[in-house]
């Protein structure tokens, strides 16, 4: 089975070839822990969790390393700490903000069925690595000190802008020259900035200060995955400047041709056609969503749309998702999972075509193949045995599913495959369906009558 991935670097779908099949390495930019995450922030967590699970399925659980960082150094965090904990020493106030937010995030994404990544490094644990990488960049002529900052010199990198396909001249056209008078190029970005006595800071060769956002990911990915790794992911909005700048720092510090071989970006979750975001104020926190909807429903709803497409988040589609999951939950209750269905895995392997994958699950349910349905759902991180989808009594039996399962069972009996026919009967029983085989007195043909018994 070949995994294919749409690579933002080349704008094409490519066969995935890992650098080392014994250790497939993926890095995804995680949350900046200053405020509760919204349901749009959950999209990369869920999408890359599915990829993590698929990679483990293909390469083996022990052969995939997934790193998702926690950005706990950021000026938004400082501002929040000052606002929410006045009078508390800043370092303590910051820790309170980041700890509360981080714990909530863990709780949220766990409820959404996301496995813990292999490692979740925090920026504050990697400051020494950052000052070291910045020193290397200065030494190699890619960074300079000016105006109390250390800046990356984008002019020093001939193919800066390759990921976002922006040319340097275009980027400079709209830049605010006056504000950036200390910069060599308007596009130069901060690696390190000095802190006032009131701001959080660490000692460095350039005075007490703090790192810029982009350098955090370059250093944490290097520490856990090495100078070059396989997959780097995040939302579309991170392509520029964040990922472009990560690439610039890592490649220039290590002298490598790439930072990661495959760059993947999820599309936006939208509300009435607009990107959900903190700044627009049109957001619903993950916790709000989970107060109303089971985590499995929110997860499935997120995955019904292909990860690169925009997704409109509506109650109607959530309700629709709940209905489907109820039918499937009924179908797989009490059934032992078989390995995931091959066509389902093939669909996922085609650049995470979850839409096609779920279409296949509908077909499996109709055919009465509850064991493969269950195994496939588990691969997608949907454990319906534990899901509380509410209103169990209100669930109507899907007659088409039952009729198909009965036909499949008779077919198996005719083929004298009794293990299979018993398996389907047990599946029906688990759905609360009693069956009785009767001979048609006229034709002598076997027919199955059924009724719902709860
Ligand atoms: P942030 O905390 O804003 O840096 O976002 C964390 C992650 O969520 C990043 O990968 C973003 O690209 C992603 N993200 C933010 N807003 C949305 C959205 N509305 N839809 C999908 N992904 C988003
Ligand atoms: Zn990042």
Domain segments of the chain as ranges: 4-139+212-269, 315-454
Closest Cα to atom 15, ligand 1: which residue? 41
The per-residue pLDDT for range 76-125, each reduced to its tens digit, is 999 999 999 999 998 899 999 999 999 999 999 999 999 999 999 999 99
Calculate the CA 419 to chain-centre distance: 39
Handedness of CA 413, 419, 425, 431 (dihedral sign): negative
Question: Higher model confidence: residue 120 or residue 169?
Answer: 120
108 contacts 37 by C-beta, under 8 angstroms: yes
- Residue 35 DSSP one-character state: S
According to DSSP, the residues that pair with 231 across neighbouring strands are 26, 262
Q: What is the structure's pLDDT at 179?
A: 56
Nearest atom in ligand 1 to the alpha carbon of residue 311 is: 20
The per-residue pLDDT for range 347-373, each reduced to its tens digit, is 999 999 999 999 999 999 999 999 999
Judged by phi (left if over 0) then psi (alpha if -120 to 50, else beta), residue 209 lies in: beta
Q: How far is CA 360 from CA 2, 233, 406, 432, in A?
A: 18, 26, 20, 24
pLDDT level of residue 172 (50, 70, 90 thresholds):
low
Burial class (CB in 10 A: 0-12, 13-18, 19+), 76: middle
Nearest atom in ligand 1 to the alpha carbon of residue 275 is: 19
Distance from the alpha carbon of residue 164 to the mean position of ligand 2, in angstroms: 15
Distance from the alpha carbon of residue 140 to the mean position of ligand 1, in angstroms: 33
pLDDT level of residue 208 (50, 70, 90 thresholds):
very high
pLDDT level of residue 222 (50, 70, 90 thresholds):
very high
Contacts 24+ apart (CB under 8 A), 196-200: 198/90, 199/78, 199/90, 200/73, 200/78, 200/90, 200/91, 200/94
Mean pLDDT of 208-224: 97
Which residue ranges have their beta carbon within 6 Å of ligand 1? 29, 31-32, 40-41, 43-44, 234-235, 237-238, 266, 268-269, 275-277
Q: What is the structure's pLDDT at 21?
A: 98
pLDDT level of residue 267 (50, 70, 90 thresholds):
very high
The per-residue pLDDT for range 282-305, each reduced to its tens digit, is 999 999 999 999 999 999 999 999
Distance from the alpha carbon of residue 268 to the mean position of ligand 1, in angstroms: 8
Q: What is the structure's pLDDT at 180?
A: 74
Closest Cα to atom 14, ligand 1: which residue? 41
Q: What are phi and psi of 320, to 5 degrees?
A: -60, -45
Tell me how far apart the alpha carbons of residues 448 and 454 are, in angstroms, rounded to a whole number. Answer: 19
According to DSSP, the residues that pair with 264 across neighbouring strands are 233
Distance from the alpha carbon of residue 187 to the mean position of ligand 2, in angstroms: 18
Range with the lowest mean pLDDT among 217-226, 263-272, 378-387, 393-402? Answer: 393-402
Mean pLDDT of 257-277: 96
To test the ligand 1 pocket, which listed residue (237, 241, 267, 271) has its Cβ within 8 A of the most ligand atoms? 237
CATH level 3 topology of 4-139+212-269 = Rossmann fold (3.40.50)
Nearest atom in ligand 1 to the alpha carbon of residue 276 is: 19
Tell me how far apart the alpha carbons of residues 92 and 98 are, in angstroms, rounded to a whole number. Answer: 10
With a cut of 70, say whether residue 17 has pLDDT above it: yes
Q: What is the structure's pLDDT at 393?
A: 46
Q: What is the structure's pLDDT at 175?
A: 54
User: What is the reported pTM?
Assistant: 0.87
Cis before 241? omega within 30:
yes
Range with the lowest mean pLDDT among 41-45, 54-58, 310-314, 389-393? Answer: 389-393
**Percent helix, strand and coil across the chain, each rounded to 5?**
45, 15, 35
Tell me how far apart the alpha carbons of residues 151 and 255 are, in angstroms, rounded to a whole number. Answer: 18
Tell me how far apart the alpha carbons of residues 123 and 211 are, in angstroms, rounded to a whole number. Answer: 9
The per-residue pLDDT for range 387-410, each reduced to its tens digit, is 999 765 445 677 888 888 898 899
According to DSSP, the residues that pair with 67 across neighbouring strands are 27, 119
Mean pLDDT of all residues belonging to the chain: 93
Q: What is the structure's pLDDT at 1?
A: 74
The per-residue pLDDT for range 139-167, each reduced to its tens digit, is 999 999 999 999 999 999 999 999 999 87
* Buried-state track 279-303, b at ≥16 Cβ within 10 A, e below 16: eeeebebbeebbeebbbbbbbbbbb
């Amino acid at each position: 089975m070949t995994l294919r991935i749409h690579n933002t670097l080349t704008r094409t779908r490519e066969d995935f070839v890992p650098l080392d099949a014994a250790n497939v390495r993926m890095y995804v930019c995680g949350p900046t822990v200053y405020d509760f995450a919204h349901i749009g922030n959950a999209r990369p967590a869920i999408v890359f969790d599915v990829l993590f699970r698929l990679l483990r399925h293909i390469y083996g659980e022990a052969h995939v390393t997934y790193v998702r960082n926690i950005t706990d150094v950021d000026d938004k965090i400082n501002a929040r700490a000052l606002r929410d904990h006045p009078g508390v020493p800043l370092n303590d106030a910051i820790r309170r903000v980041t700890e509360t937010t981080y714990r909530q995030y863990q709780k949220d994404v766990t409820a959404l069925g996301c496995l813990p990544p292999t490692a979740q490094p925090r920026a504050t644990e990697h400051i020494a690595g950052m000052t070291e990488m910045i020193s290397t960049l200065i030494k190699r002529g890619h960074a300079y000190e000016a105006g109390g900052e250390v800046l990356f010199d984008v002019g020093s990198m001939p193919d800066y802008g390759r990921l976002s396909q922006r040319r340097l001249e275009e980027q400079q056209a709209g830049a605010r020259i006056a504000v950036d008078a200390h910069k060599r190029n308007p596009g130069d970005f901060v690696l390190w900035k000095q802190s006032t006595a009131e701001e959080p800071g660490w000692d460095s060769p350039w005075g007490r200060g703090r790192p810029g956002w982009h350098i955090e990911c370059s250093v944490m990915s290097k520490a856990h995955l090495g100078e070059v790794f396989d997959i780097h992911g995040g939302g579309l909005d991170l392509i520029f400047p964040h990922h472009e700048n990560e690439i610039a720092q890592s490649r220039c510090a290590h002298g490598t041709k790439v930072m990661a071989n495959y760059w993947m970006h999820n599309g936006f979750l939208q509300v009435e056609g607009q990107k959900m975001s903190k700044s627009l104020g049109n957001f619903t926190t993950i916790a709000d969503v989970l107060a109303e909807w089971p985590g499995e429903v929110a997860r499935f709803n997120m995955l019904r749309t292909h990860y690169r497409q925009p997704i409109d988040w509506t109650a109607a589609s959530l309700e629709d998702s709940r209905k489907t999951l109820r039918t499937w939950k009924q179908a797989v209750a009490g059934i032992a999972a078989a390995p995931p269905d091959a066509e389902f895995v093939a669909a996922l392997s085609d650049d995470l075509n979850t839409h096609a994958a779920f279409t296949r699950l509908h077909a499996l349910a109709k055919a009465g193949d509850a064991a493969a349905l269950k195994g496939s759902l588990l691969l997608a991180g949907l454990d319906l045995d534990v899901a509380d989808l509410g209103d169990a009594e209100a669930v109507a039996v899907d007659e088409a599913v039952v009729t198909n399962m009965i036909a499949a069972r008779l077919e198996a009996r005719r083929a004298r495959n009794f293990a299979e026919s018993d398996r389907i009967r047990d599946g029906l029983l688990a759905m609360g369906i009693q069956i009785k085989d009767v001979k048609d007195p006229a034709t002598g043909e076997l027919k199955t009558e059924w009724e719902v018994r709860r």
